[in-house]
Amino acid sequence: MVLPIIDARVHVSRSSAPWPKVRELLRGAGVDTALLSIYPDSPQPDHDLTLPRDVAAKDGPWAAYYVGGYPYEGFRDGLARIPSDFDRYSALHIRCFLSPSLDFGGATTSAYWDAERIEAAVGREDLNAVIDAARQRSMPVWLIEHFPVTLALIERFPDVRFVIPKMGAMNGGSAAILNTLADFAHICFDTSLGDLQESIVRKIGYRRILFASGYPYNDPSDALSQLCGMDLPDDEIAAMAGGNLLELIGCAGEG
């Protein structure tokens, strides 16, 4: 495979998933570098918040700024803020900032969101300011929220390059997300052992898919084997394995 191979979503923590240890694990799996975000399940998320930025470098790894909930502190973390060093980040990662849980099904969680509740959530000025700051810097935005919230944010920010993790499995289910967003050419997906099949690649196009493991939730070796095991042209595999991510973050952040 043509290098580099880049894992588009890796979580790090100063204690449970330190970057030196994660880097060696990625190299052992054949992965060159990664886009890093904090580990949401860390017992010390505030201490970890700047870790991706601290280890970021011009040629990777790159840092994603995290806005979201922490299992140990509730699903909200006060106000969403734009850091003074936002230009040092290459992406924005929003996870359960508005939604109280992950959304693996869609039907039950959709009933929770009436029109008024959705508007109040996606209309939050603090979150809107952070997303708009990312837009101005051409940063892609990883998004993990309930299905109705995901769609409302995509509609509210039509010129933002959103990335849906795990092929939509955590945003209402892969089938619901892929069917709804198939024709949204600017919306991308990361694999992280989600529902990745050759038919799906043909349906939405290989340029919209980013290889990712979501480590430590999934194993990089398994995620890469899933990608490389598909019967697709080498140039398409190479694009998904790293080229697409480089294109997304090429104008965002200098590390």
Q: Which residue would you say has higher pLDDT here, 221 or 77?
A: 221
**Which stretch of 13-17, 41-45, 152-156 has the lowest confidence by average pLDDT?**
41-45
* Structure tokens belonging to residue 191: 């694999």
* Structure tokens belonging to residue 167: 């092929």
Range of the domain at 242: 6-249
- Asked if the model's pLDDT at residue 129 lies above 50, the reply is yes
Q: Does residue 52 lie in a domain region?
A: yes
Q: How many domains does the chain have?
A: 1
Q: Is 13 exposed, middle or buried (0-12, 13-18, 19+ CB in 10 A)?
A: buried
- For residue 6, give Cα distances in angstroms to 27, 86, 104: 10, 22, 26
Q: Does residue 255 lie in a domain region?
A: no
Q: Does residue 15 lie in a domain region?
A: yes
- Residues 34, 7: contact at Cβ < 8 Å? yes
Query: What is the domain-level CATH number for residue 114?
Result: 3.20.20.140
2 pLDDT band, cuts 50/70/90, is low
> Which pLDDT score, from 0 to 100, does residue 18 have?
96
> Which pLDDT score, from 0 to 100, does residue 76 have?
62
> What is the distance between the alpha carbons of residues 51 and 20, in angstroms, rounded to a whole number?
12
- Asked if the model's pLDDT at residue 43 lies above 80, the reply is yes
The reported pTM is 0.94
- Asked if the model's pLDDT at residue 92 lies above 60, the reply is yes
Q: Does residue 72 lie in a domain region?
A: yes
Q: Does residue 1 lie in a domain region?
A: no
